[in-house]
Structure 1
Amino acid sequence: MQYRRLGKTGYDVSTISFGAWAIGGTWGEVSEEDAMGALHRALDLGVNFFDTADVYGDGLSERRIARLRRERPEPFYVATKAGRRLDPHTAGGYTEANLRGFIERSLKNLETERLDLLQLHCPPPEVYGRDEVFGALDGFVKEGLLRAYGVSVEAVDEALTAIGHPGVATVQIIFNAFRLKPAEQFFAAAGEADVGILARVPLASGLLTGKMKRDSQFAADDHRSFNRHGEAFDKGETFSGVDYETGLQAVEELRPHVPQGMTLAEFALRWILMFPEVSCAIPGAKNAAQVEANVKAADLPPLSEEGMRAVRDVYDRLIRPQVQDLW
């Protein structure tokens, strides 16, 4: 495992970390045994950073990570998110009182007295410009409820606005071979601000594993079956906003450029780590075997210039027209 500094948090985090959405919900059912097996195997392999949210399984993901802490002695970092419990989810709901309530609930779920990292969970765009929201977060740090805070965003413009607030330590953003805009328009500014970057949806909801086909079926409670057009939340969360058929075509064009002995998923994750501004990628996993597959990418050799050009070419021809201007 390799480690990189997570911006101004000062944490050294595993370059392949653990996205805990899948063990909470909307990815099909995951048993307690499989979820805990995945979490334990991640620690075994050197993962020391786990990303969750209060709405993943209505707190189930957080509670499973709390159980991991009880069962394992070694220290690790946990990032959670707040804001999506608001109903309706409006900018006006991002008040100090509401955020405090969300934080207290996560502290209880995670069985801890202070959160390592709290992230605003893809709030409405206008929230990023509200000084009072970030002032409240600064207050929670001073109070000792948080060690650090950041944001999880949908769009590059939101990320750029967010890092204008000096207390923002991290930005979690969709970045993968089907989403190149962050590297083009955000990474340099993040580096100047000493902001850590968490690359989320690194495998484009599984498309970049190369295992999906035109007739692949997904469970009814899996967002890949019910959110392809943004029916439940931002469509960019599902397959990175790429049309499924186009994504399959892009995958087939990438296959010939995967080095011998490397899987497409490993190639896709190693591609992300070719960008030094990225602190870590946070692929999800439903079981120990998926964790093992993800973690292999951390220790792979650098990709060739030819491989990097191939990703850019496929993106420019097939993907850019669909996603570049939306996020």
Structure 2
Amino acid sequence: MEYRELGRTGWKVSTISFGAWAIGGTWGQVDDTASMAALHRALDLGVNFFDTADVYGDGHSERLIARLRRERKDPFYVATKAGRRLSPHVADGYDRKNLTTFVERSLANLEVEAIDLLQLHCPPTDVYYRPEVFGVLDDLVKAGKLRHYGVSVEKVEEALKAIEYPGVQSVQIIYNIFRQRPADLLFEQVAKRGVGILARLPLSSGLLSGRMTRDTTFSPDDHRQFNREGAAFDKGETFSGLDYAKGLEAVEALRPLVPAGWTLPQFALRWLTMHPAVTCAIPGGRKVAQVEDNVSAADLPSLTAAQMDAVNAVYERFAKGEVHHRW
């Protein structure tokens, strides 16, 4: 496993970490026994950073991670998120009272006295232009409720605004083979400011697993079924905002690029970690086999310039026109 520094926290986190959205909900049926086995296996393999949120299964994901901490003595970091519990989800809701309430709830769910890293959870764009919101987070750090804070964003523009605030240690953003815009400008700017990048949906909602076909079906409670057009939250959170059929075509174009002995997910994750500005990828894993496959990408050799160029050609052909200008 490779480890990289996260912002200015002094932490070194595993380049392949663990995204805990899928073990909470909105990805179909969850099996806590399998989820806990996956979490334990991640620790076994050197993962030391777990990303969750208070709305993943209404706190269920946070509570599973608390259970992991009870069952294991291995040290690890936990990042969670706050804000999406607001209804309606509007900028005015990001006030001191609500943020403090959300933090207290996550502290209880995680069974800790201080949250390692709290991230604003894809708030409305206007929130990034309200210094008082970040002042509340500064106060929560001073009060010992948070060790550090960052943001989870939908758009590059939001990230560029967020990193103007000196307390922001990390930006979580969708970055994968089908969503490459963050590398244009954002990565250069975060490197200058010492801000970490958490790459979420690195496998594009499973598209880059290579296991999906036109006949694949999803359960009604799976966002890959109900959110393809953004009915529940930002469309870009599902298949990177890419049309499903076109995404499948892109996957077929990628298959010949995968070296012998590698899986497509490993190739996609290794491509992602080639960029030095990326602190870590946070793929989900509901089964031990998924975790093992994902984590092994950290030990694979670097991609060649020709391989990187070939991936970019696939992006240009299938995805860029649909997604690059939007997020």
Deviations 1:80-123, CA, capped at 9 Å, x for gaps: 00000000000000001100000000000000000000000000
Q: Which residue of structure 2 lines up, in the alignment, with residue 167 of structure 1?
A: 167
AA at the equivalent of 1:318: F
Q: Secondary structure at the residue paired with 1:283? A: coil
Q: Which residue of structure 2 lines up, in the alignment, with residue 60 of structure 1?
A: 60
Q: Which residue of structure 2 lines up, in the alignment, with residue 206 of structure 1?
A: 206
Q: Secondary structure at the residue paired with 1:99? A: helix
Distance in structure 1 (CA, Å) of the matches to 2:57 and 2:9: 27
Q: Which residue of structure 1 lines up, in the alignment, with residue 80 of structure 2?
A: 80
Q: Which residue of structure 1 lines up, in the alignment, with residue 301 of structure 2?
A: 301
Distance in structure 1 (CA, Å) of the matches to 2:309 and 2:251: 15
TM-score with structure 1 setting the length: 0.99
Q: Which residue of structure 2 lines up, in the alignment, with residue 225 of structure 1?
A: 225
Q: Which residue of structure 2 lines up, in the alignment, with residue 278 of structure 1?
A: 278
Distance in structure 2 (CA, Å) of the matches to 1:159 and 1:107: 26
Distance in structure 2 (CA, Å) of the matches to 1:262 and 1:306: 17
1:137-176 to structure 2, matched below 5 A, reads 137-176=137-176
Q: Which residue of structure 2 lines up, in the alignment, with residue 288 of structure 1?
A: 288
Give the C-alpha shift of residue 238 in structure 1.
0.3
Deviations 1:5-44, CA, capped at 9 Å, x for gaps: 0111221000000000000000011111011001101001
Give the C-alpha shift of residue 287 in structure 1.
1.4
Distance in structure 2 (CA, Å) of the matches to 1:31 and 1:199: 25
Q: Which residue of structure 2 lines up, in the alignment, with residue 18 of structure 1?
A: 18
Deviations 1:143-195, CA, capped at 9 Å, x for gaps: 11000000000000000000010100000000000011000120000000100
Distance in structure 1 (CA, Å) of the matches to 2:10 and 2:196: 9
Q: Secondary structure at the residue paired with 1:290? A: helix
Q: Which residue of structure 2 lines up, in the alignment, with residue 2 of structure 1?
A: 2
Distance in structure 2 (CA, Å) of the matches to 1:264 and 1:75: 30
Q: Which residue of structure 1 lines up, in the alignment, with residue 318 of structure 2?
A: 318
1:183-202 to structure 2, matched below 5 A, reads 183-202=183-202
Give the C-alpha shift of residue 316 in structure 1.
1.1
Give the C-alpha shift of residue 318 in structure 1.
1.4
CA RMSD of aligned residues (A): 0.6
Q: Secondary structure at the residue paired with 2:64? A: helix
Q: Which residue of structure 2 lines up, in the alignment, with residue 266 of structure 1?
A: 266
Distance in structure 1 (CA, Å) of the matches to 2:264 and 2:35: 24
Distance in structure 2 (CA, Å) of the matches to 1:157 and 1:56: 25
TM-score with structure 2 setting the length: 0.99
Q: Which residue of structure 2 lines up, in the alignment, with residue 35 of structure 1?
A: 35
Give the C-alpha shift of residue 47 in structure 1.
0.3
Deviations 1:202-246, CA, capped at 9 Å, x for gaps: 000000111110111111111001100001100100000000011
Distance in structure 2 (CA, Å) of the matches to 1:218 and 1:207: 13
Q: Which residue of structure 1 lines up, in the alignment, with residue 70 of structure 2?
A: 70
1:117-136 to structure 2, matched below 5 A, reads 117-136=117-136
Q: Which residue of structure 2 lines up, in the alignment, with residue 216 of structure 1?
A: 216
Q: Secondary structure at the residue paired with 1:117? A: strand
Q: Secondary structure at the residue paired with 2:99? A: helix
| Number of aligned positions between the proteins | 327
Distance in structure 2 (CA, Å) of the matches to 1:89 and 1:212: 32
Q: Secondary structure at the residue paired with 1:173? A: strand
Distance in structure 2 (CA, Å) of the matches to 1:182 and 1:161: 14
Q: Structure 1 stretches of 5 or more lacking a match?
A: none
- In percent, how many aligned pairs have the same letter? 66
Distance in structure 1 (CA, Å) of the matches to 2:325 and 2:105: 36
AA at the equivalent of 1:231: A
Give the C-alpha shift of residue 306 in structure 1.
1.2
